[in-house]
Amino acid sequence: KTSDRYCKWVEWSEEDQVYIGKCPDLITGVHGDNPVRLYEELCEVVDEVVRHFESAGRPLPRPRVRPMLELA
């Protein structure tokens, strides 16, 4: 699945007092109170963005965020 190439994660924001879901290669983020539901929502949004790019015939940005590669 194309959207699986993009790194996605959820983290707690002390400043905002909410969970923030991020996929920096495609979107700025989504927020919510339930981290599990938020990750599901984040994946849905990323899927929508990928479909939008594909339906418009536009190339997707190359995935750049790869935290595990930085640790290796």
Contact between 19 and 12 (Cβ < 8 Å): yes
Contact between 7 and 25 (Cβ < 8 Å): yes
Contact between 21 and 39 (Cβ < 8 Å): yes
11: which strand partners? 20
pLDDT tops 70 at residue 70: no
Which residue in the block uniquely carries the two structure tokens 């790869």?
A: 66
pLDDT at 42: 98
Contact between 21 and 33 (Cβ < 8 Å): no
Fold (CATH) for 2-71: Double Stranded RNA Binding Domain (3.30.160)
Which tens digits make up the pLDDT trace of 23-63? 999 999 999 999 999 999 999 999 999 999 999 999 999 99
pLDDT at 45: 98
Rounded-to-integer distance, Cα 61 and Cα 55, Å: 15
